[in-house]
A and B are shown apart, each in its own frame.
Chain A
Amino acid sequence: HADVEPRVTLRVARRRCEMGRFVKFIFRYFNSTDNDLNYWGLDYPPLTAYHSLICAYVAKIINPEWVELHKSRGYESPAHKLFMRATVLVADLLIYMPAVVLYCFYLTDESSKKKVSTLFCFLLYPGLILIDYGHFQYNAVSLGFALWAILALGLGWDAFGSVAFCLALNYKQMELYHALPFFCYLLGKCVKLGLMGRGLLLLVRIASTVLVTFALCWLPFLSDPSHASQVVRRIFPVARGLFEDKVANTWCSLNILIKIRSILSTESQIYLSLASTLLAALPSSIRLLTKPTFWQFKLALANSSLAFFLFSYQVHEKSVLLAALPVCLLLNDLPLVAIWFLQASTFSMLPLFLKDGLLAPYVVTSVGFLLFSIYLLSALEHCSEEELRLGAYHKLLFFLPRLDLACVIRWKFYFSIAAMAGLSIASVALVPPPHLPDLFPVLVSTTAFLHFLGTFVYFNIVQFSEPPSRKSQKKIN
């Protein structure tokens, strides 16, 4: 097939350019003192660069033309494309999938048939597949490392978990979305063990592993502080603005009603988003600090990443993958809500998929995911009030007449799926009116935003309500 999607070309070309540049850079770094980071172009932390380097070495063995510094710009042959796509698959197979398999088999206690069902629904999540393999990114690596960290903490291996999370953080700085829960969970554990005894030892051990891991990752850049600060400036580009394009977060949705970007200065925008993010993320983190159990940890991960996604600065629609990972962990505990959120998160990226020409894969994977996960996890049967922890809603909505919340949730689910399907069809089939050219992306992001907000509120409520005596209460920690 000769169709070349422009975005893919750009991504692939950028990727390969980065690899080429980085190969040259590293050679120059180790061979001379004349370094020039301005040509780097990379805006991810060092581990991404090292990964690119490994891929570049392999590419050089196969065909040196692929990594020529300036000549390889825009170079695209089917073999090269296949190689790039294969690197994603290899990274996925080595890092992400083993973590998912181990999580499903060791940290869920259901029958083995149910474990396999959870495993496949987890792996079938369309958003990650479409972004990594369609759009072309390496999210599976950072999410995989984060998952290894979660797995390790679930099994009680705190030091190994810290190392894994540091690796995740050094691969993509977006993993900071998950940093607060990790910090609070480990700190809470240390406090629980007693700050004057074993707790302090644990704290010291974790702190030292974190520092050592960071030092090892940043080794080439520590020789000169100006390099390190340049890297930091690349990784956190605060000059860009509150949001770019149409994203399903608060600021973009608010912008429909009030033009925030024109009212506030850049500085106040930064402060506003910082304040609201912290305000949104703190309750769940503090709850986790006081009750460091694995169940609370999973919920806090979901809440923190959602808070960051909804209120943070310069959020990309692809960042929803960071919120999707913790929700995947809740697939067997709260199947209906998890599936609903995962589908909404895929839907929120629809404009991106349309730009990349991924309509057919989007439809097929979404339909497949919905059908198989609802069927295999029996989501629509396990949505009683008790199973979905809806008890707290009754207390909150005491002023409304007592409704059958399970029935309400089911109908909301059907309606929402219909709305998402309808908007997807409309985005493709209909032409927006000329005075509203961005009508459909805006509608998509607003709908997705409402879903995310609702899920955020729900997960917070669940985190704060008392866990019933279910068999799925984790034995570990």
Chain B
Amino acid sequence: MDGWMIRLTFKSSYVTVMAAQSGWWFPAAAAGVSLLKCLLISAYHSTDFEVHRNWLAVTHSLPVSRWYYENTSEWTLDYPPLFAWFEFGLSHVAQHFDRNMLLVENLNYVSPSTVLFQRLSVIFTDVLFILAVRECCRCVQEQKGSRDVLNRPSFVLAVLLLWNFGLLIVDHIHFQYNGFLFGFLLLSVAKHLQSEHLQGALLFSILLNLKHIYLYVAPAYGVYLLRSYCFTQDNKDGSVRWMSFSPLRLLALSGIVTSISALSFGPFIAMGQLPQVLSRLFPFKRGLCHAYWAPNFWALYNVLDKILTVLGEAPLQCLM
């Protein structure tokens, strides 16, 4: 990283701390990190940049029926339909920056306007993330009697979320749209904390239809909503009162989930493309591990596999 970026990072973070004194700390933290993001505009970007440029091109130039069949580029559309519609919306702004990025044939097109547009789109959609963090901070219980803002849980939460360096590196250097998606997740969580369960469920369904990787947390959501929302009353010792099951509430939840999914997948089901869409969303052909192994169980399996292979070949080598 260039020298001035490092200097400015330290300074912006400490300035956030200093601004914490008089209640303007949240806008200061948000403004500081946004300015830092602007400095990362001309930093390195990975192939994910080309992925999103390609999706802008595909959604803009091709009719909906071709979106999940297009494979001129190796980076085919593998996010759910709502994200495709999001890219479609972005492409209408993109055409004012550089029309050439919207041509599907322009593989690896990286004009300065393209880079600027893509980076700015991530920075602007992060506004949703900032708003969601603000909502979450409002839900945090404040301890009475702690005057110093630096000690407040809401301040710590805000800084940890807004200045999350992993997110900064992945979103603003490597290039992805996770901030905006996590905004939906946090907003949904905040709504649940505020007991607005239907709104929370709505937001989570939208999120699932934007990026299906959030299926990872769907079981937790499902069980939580079932237990806390569908069962309206608890026994005195806190255990569930089975008789208080409310079918109406279950119906409301399923109504929300199905309507959002219908909105998202509906057009593709109508065109009979559901199997194709699902095969794009869940590419089992790619194999157990990604090119860069995630530090999970299958990585251990891979290592064991490799060791056994080497050991297995060794006797053969000896024989030769």
Residues of A with Cβ closer than 8 Å to B?
1, 3, 85-86, 88-89, 92, 113, 116-117, 120, 123-124, 129-130, 132-134, 360-361, 363-365, 367-368, 371-372, 375-376
Contacts and interface: CB of A to CB of B under 8 A. Distances in A.
Contacts of B32: 368, 372
Interface of B: 2-4, 6-8, 11-12, 14-15, 18-19, 21, 24, 28, 31-32, 35, 38-39, 41-44
A85 B31 CA distance: 27
A86 B35 CA distance: 23
Contact of B35 (A1, A88, A133, A368): A368
By Cβ-Cβ distance, the 4 closest A-B pairs, closest first, are: A133-B4, A89-B3, A133-B3, A364-B38
A1 B44 contact: yes
B38 A360 contact: yes
Of B4, B21, B24, B42, chain A has the most CB atoms within 10 Å of the CB of B4
A16 B42 CA distance: 25
Nearest to A358: B4
Given A89-B3, A123-B7, A364 B18 contact: no
B42 A365 contact: no
A130 B2 CA distance: 11
Contacts of B8: 124, 129, 364-365, 368
Nearest to B16: A372
A113 B4 contact: no
A116 B21 CA distance: 13
A116 B19 CA distance: 11
A113 B18 contact: yes
A360 B119 CA distance: 13
Given A133-B2, A375-B24, A364 B35 contact: yes
Contacts of A361: 4, 39
B42 A113 contact: no
A361 B8 CA distance: 10
Given A129-B7, A361-B4, A120 B42 contact: no
A367 B4 contact: no
Contacts of A88: 3
Contact of A124 (B11, B21, B24, B42): B11
Contacts of B7: 89, 92, 123, 129, 133
21 contacts: A1-B44, A89-B6, A92-B3, A92-B7, A116-B14, A123-B11, A129-B8, A130-B4, A132-B3, A132-B4, A133-B3, A133-B7, A134-B4, A360-B39, A364-B8, A364-B39, A365-B4, A367-B35, A368-B12, A368-B35, A371-B31
A375 B28 contact: yes
Of A117, A134, A364, A367, chain B has the most CB atoms within 10 Å of the CB of A364
Contacts of A365: 4, 8
Contacts of A129: 4, 7-8
A361 B7 CA distance: 13
B38 to A, nearest CB: 5
A360 B42 contact: yes
B230 to A, nearest CB: 48
